[in-house]
Amino acid sequence: MINKLKLFFTIQIFRIVHFDMHDYRKTVFLAGSARSGTTWLQELVNFNNAYRVLFEPFRPDKVDLVKRWHQFQYLRVGENASVFMDPMIDILSGRIKDPWVDTSNRRLFSEKRIVKAIHANLFLFWMKKHFPEVPIVLIIRHPCAVANSKINIVRKHFQYTNNPLKAFLNQPQLMEDFLFPYESKMRDSKTDFESFVWMWCIENFIPIKQFNDGEIHITFYENLCINPEEEIKHIFSYINRPYSSEVIGKTRVPSSVSRKNSAINSGTDLLSSWRKHVSDDQIKSALDILNLFGMDNIYNDGDLPLLGSCEILNAL
């Protein structure tokens, strides 16, 4: 009991007290859709606690610094408004101090930091143009696996009362630049599963369309599962992080946000466990949605991505 109390209070201290050197160029940015493996990736990159962790700093409902942002904020490259630039500078430089953002931090003194974000995909290209020194790693996972995992959370904690795609429909610039051709279908009534597949498409379609080779590193969750050493070496090379074999042991450890009944905790197949909960009709529906975006050349009804990380930026 005493040890548990010590651990609890130590964690609380790191959420409140820390000293950061504030060089934004020493930030690594990890992005992806919810339930795509971002927390796992964060824990792999930070396997030896070398980084301060900034956890989900772009949630308007949690972080005052971005309370005027949309939940999934889209930004055009030319956007320079202080409401966006100032918070981004504070976050990337580690000047932000917030118990929510520092909930995963375990360092007192920090020269470098990881930003882990599931609401950032639509402004990644904007960020790269304004802060080109910051390496971005985007993790992508099979849309059916993501949708199934999100549904489990929805069923347990809450139900959507509105179309979740309104987070995108309510952004005129986003609709004008990318989503106008899909607007009528986005407004149609959908199951939760279909809505989550739509969200997956939007969140990944836009950065894939925007970025060129070398500007971002894309890794597939499935490749991390089946070939972790090679995939981690590629990631570490991109972020200029020395590789250590010590990190491989972390690939067999559930992330801190893994559910008790998740595949890694239950000992089942990480790649195909979602199939037990997703019907053939749902898979067909998902593939129809992917086809609308031309993304059925990235995933189909199989377990693995159809392209390699180096090919995906030329896929759309």
Q: What's the CATH code of the domain at 272? A: 3.40.50.300
Residue 5 lies in a domain: no
- Identify the sign of the CA torsion 22, 24, 26, 28: positive
Determine what percent of the chain is predicted with pLDDT higher than 90: 78
Q: Is the pLDDT of residue 10 over 60?
A: no
Residue 169 lies in a domain: yes
pLDDT of residue 264: 46
Q: Is the pLDDT of residue 11 over 80?
A: no
pLDDT of residue 190: 87
pTM confidence score: 0.91
Q: Which two tokens stand for residue 25?
A: 């160029």
Residue 3 lies in a domain: no
pLDDT digits (tens, 9 = 90+) for 129-152: 999 999 999 999 999 999 999 998
Residue 4 lies in a domain: no
Q: What is the mean pLDDT of residues 243-269?
A: 64
Residue 199 lies in a domain: yes
Q: Higher pLDDT residue, 6 or 308?
A: 308
Phi, psi of 138 (to 5 degrees): -110, 125
Lowest mean pLDDT among 17-31, 199-213, 251-265, 296-310: 251-265
pLDDT of residue 262: 44
Q: Which two tokens stand for residue 35?
A: 């339930």
Supply the range of the domain harboring residue 246.
14-314
Q: What is the mean pLDDT of residues 199-207?
A: 99
Provide the domain count of the chain: 1
Q: Is the pLDDT of residue 263 over 80?
A: no
Within a 10 A sphere around the Cβ of 12, how many other Cβ atoms? 12
**What pLDDT band is residue 267 in, cutting at 50, 70 and 90?**
very low
